[in-house]
Amino acid sequence: MYRYDEFDAAFVRQRTEQFSHQVKRRLSGELTEDQFRPLRLMNGLYLQLHAYMLRVAVPYGTLNSKQMRKLAHIARTYDRGYGHFTTRQNIQYNWPKLKDVPAILEELASVEMHAIQTSGNCIRNVTTDQFAGAAADEIIDPRPVAEIIRQWSSLHPEFSYLPRKFKIAITGAPQDRAAVKFHDIGLMATQNDAGDIGWRVFVGGGLGRTPMVAKEISDFVAHEYLLPYLEAILRVYNMYGRRDNKYKARIKILVHETGIETIREQVEAEFAEIKDGVLKLPQGELTRITEYFAAPSFEEQEQTKIDIAQFQVTDSAYARFLQNNLHPHSEEGYVSLTISLKPIGGAPGDATDKQMDAVADLAEQYSFDELRVSHEQNLVLPHVAMKDVRAIYDVLVAEGLETGNAGLISDMIACPGLDYCALANARSIPVAQAISEKFANREDEFGELKLKISGCINACGHHHVGHIGILGVEKKGTELYQITLGGDATEDATIGKILGRGVTPEEVPGALEKLLDRYIAERQSPKESFLEAYRRLGDAPFKEALYG
Amino acid sequence: MDKMHTSSDAEVLTLFKDGAFVADTWRDLNEDEALTGLDHVHVPLNVYLENKAELDANKGAIGLALVPGDDVDALGEDATKFASIVVEFPAFTDGRGYSYARLLRERYNYEGELRARGDILTDQVAYFFRCGFDALTVVNEATKKALQENDTGAVSIYMQPVAPSEVPVGTRPFLRRAN
């Protein structure tokens, strides 16, 4: 993975000092909360319902064991013993004290981490496929380019006061696990006719109040021109994006109102001017960064497959884990292993300090010191030899991390909701817990199912792209939950459709049961997933099942 | 609060240039003012574009005033005719002016004075300079104090190249520091 040189270290140190100084001025009363607000928001510090919340960047979701141990240490020392991994592959601490924040940032800087641009109307942490550099279906490892984008966008002087926040996602595989078409800019690796690998560029995707699937603005941008191309998009957005209404300020609205053809013309005109300028990426730099992400020294493995069937009777929990939590690896005898942060009845994405330490140990011992955070709020050991899976599983059992539910209904995305968030209209976590408890014994039967829950229309829980999405709203002082079906965050990007009137919190699990029973009854075979069945059948049978 | 006779008083100097607050020799064009005989006056872009010949005929120094939403590309190479351009920042959150500055400097070869004016916070100062501004009109007291004490706490090394005047650092192609 990327390692800081002296320059990177000095950069983060200076930024940490700058922010520490700002915090001191706030604590001394020199800055009012109004004056401090824009400063703290540039550094991931939010004021939530009960306390400050600090969001720490995990660049493209990649961590080593030392960094994970530091995150555990921070949770233990400055918070209440846990952290929350987010859909943007970051980690949030929900209870830090303002006076401790400078110390936390210093601790982070000591392991090459920071909170730069995890909030504010700037370019946020670049996200990618959690299996990057490991997945069998990958065209190219997206991490070097993600790192190049991270550097280019860090404290960018022109793009730190954009109309609104700006999120970039990148995938190196045709099977999109990074939801790139739901980002302000999505990059998807592709090969042109000459056999060169470059990037398809999508612009104007997003969720929130106005969900939109991104439109393709270019079918091929070569590596060397990617930064000028991004700068051209950002400049057009910075100059023409709406600033009169924060709910219409994302680039998706600009693209929607102006039309992709006009935006493309503007971007191409800007790109033509700066294309061969100072941001053109020299091959030497690409090579240098790529070397940081060289594949680890894999060893030839005797064991090249895992026989799941033998455990189905004697150790069904382990069989489930093998069935659901392993992902094919490009190297024979290896897999990527998902550690679910969705225990039945737990808060999605939370990990305790002890669990983080345990996962760090596993990464060090079994995964070449590498860890990933997935946008589905799980942790991943990217490079695990098949022979080691059992030993890892046994440790996970001891830590309460063995849930074999990756990709199933209980592996849901849920925002923090009304329990923590100042924006929320309804609770998310209790609803998530009730659902996962309700279906704990049936989820294998349902197969692959993406359930996503948001506690308000800002859609942090990505409900628009859930195969089943749940949106909490507030009506006349009570919480009500709308159900959407058919959403899809992958390369087939689709926004789910609202099925009908909302249901009360208590009714949610029962409503899902009706929908899922109907799916089981209607599906052509157990191989037809809920999403496939929905696409074939449409709304009607599900409406009937729910509303009669 | 009569400030009419104290405009030269150091207390109310708002123009920061070359490391110090200095007297401002420029003023804005008044509404309905005649466009002849002007000297050291900032003229709005739309007024300039509609009265180019008349304004270009002035013997005195003419400046330009840009507000967010102005079309810098419509000005184009005419930018080089001006001795001073001021870009308005009505709210610190409105970052359009940063792009205008870069276009003026990097695309339209503007080399005169480039001012940022308005809601300027301490932490934006370095960004302004990096994008090509060389003067700031500041009213925010905290920002003035920080500038006076040369204590903006800015990060002085950069992860991306912007202005051509920034100095490369080491062997990585995109790293820069202040000149």
- Domain ranges in chain B are 10-152
* A162 contact residues in B (CB cutoff 8 A): 95
Decide if pLDDT at A35 tops 90.
Answer: no
Instruction: Enter the CATH code of domain A309-399.
Output: 3.90.480.20
Q: How confident is the model at residue B1 (pLDDT cuts 50, 70, 90)?
A: very low
* Inter-chain touch B174–A151, beta carbons under 8 Å: yes
Q: What is the DSSP letter of A88?
A: T
Residue A48's pLDDT is what? Answer: 78
Interval A392-415 mean pLDDT: 96
Retrieve residue A457's tokens.
Answer: 């229309």
Report pLDDT digits (tens) over A295-354: 999 999 999 999 999 999 999 999 999 999 999 999 999 999 999 999 988 888 999 999
Q: If you count residue pairs, one on A and one on B, with CB atoms under 8 Å apart, how many are there?
A: 103
Alpha-carbon span B118 to B96, nearest angstrom: 13
Write the residue in A31, A243, A278 that is nearest to B161 by C-beta. A278
* A6-109: CATH topology: Sulfite Reductase Hemoprotein; domain 2 (3.90.480)
Question: Which residues from B are below 8 Å from A when comparing CB atoms?
Answer: 68, 92-96, 98-100, 102, 107, 121, 123-124, 126-128, 130-131, 142, 153-162, 164, 169-170, 172-175
Residues on chain B touching A159 (C-beta within 8 angstroms)? 95, 98
CB A452 within 8 A of CB A470: yes
- pLDDT computed for residue B11 by the predictor: 58
Cβ atoms of B108 and B129 closer than 8 Å = no
Fold of A413-547: Sulfite Reductase Hemoprotein; domain 1 (3.30.413)
How much is the pLDDT for A548? 86
Domain ranges in chain A with CATH number 3.90.480.20? 6-109, 309-399
Residue A415 has pLDDT above 90, yes or no: no
Mean pLDDT over A28-52 rounds to 85
List B62's β-bridge partners, or say none. Answer: B41
Residue A91 pLDDT grade (very low, low, confident, very high; cuts 50, 70, 90):
very high
Predicted local confidence at residue B8, as pLDDT:
46
The pLDDT of residue B122 is 87
Residue appearing with tokens 């140190």: A13
Quick one: tokens of A531? 């999403």
CB contact under 8 A, A285 and B172: yes
Instruction: Return the ∠ at Cα A346 (arms to A345 and A349), rounded to 5°.
Output: 145
Segment A189-204 shows an average pLDDT of 96
Q: Which residue of A has its CA nearest to B172?
A: A285
What is the spatial distance between Cα B127 and Cα B104, in angstroms, rounded to a whole number? 16
Question: How far apart are the CA of B57 and the nearest CA of chain A, in angstroms?
Answer: 31
- ipTM confidence score: 0.94
- Band of pLDDT at residue B164, cut at 50, 70 and 90: confident
Residues of A in Cβ contact (< 8 Å) with B128: 157
Contacts of B102 in chain A (CB under 8 A): 158, 235
With residues binned 3-state (H G I as helix, E B as strand, rest as coil), the percentages for chain B, rounded to 5, are: 30, 20, 50
pLDDT tens for residues B33-74?
999 999 999 999 999 999 999 999 999 999 999 999 999 999
| CATH 3.30.413.10 domain extents, chain A | 142-291, 413-547
Choose the closest CB to A285 out of B96, B131, B173.
B173
Output the pLDDT for position A36. Answer: 87
- Per-residue model confidence (pLDDT) at position B163: 75
Q: What is the pLDDT of residue A421?
A: 82
Q: Which regions of A86-153 does DSSP assign to beta strands (E)?
A: 91-93, 127-128
pLDDT at B7: 43
pLDDT at A459 over 80: yes
* CATH no. of B10-152: 3.20.20.70
A152:B131 CB<8 A:
no
One CATH from 3.30.460.80, 3.40.1410.10, 3.40.50.620, 3.30.413.10 for A142-291: 3.30.413.10
Q: What is the pLDDT of residues A503-521, one digit of tens each?
A: 999 999 999 999 999 999 9
Instruction: Give pLDDT, residue B142.
Output: 85
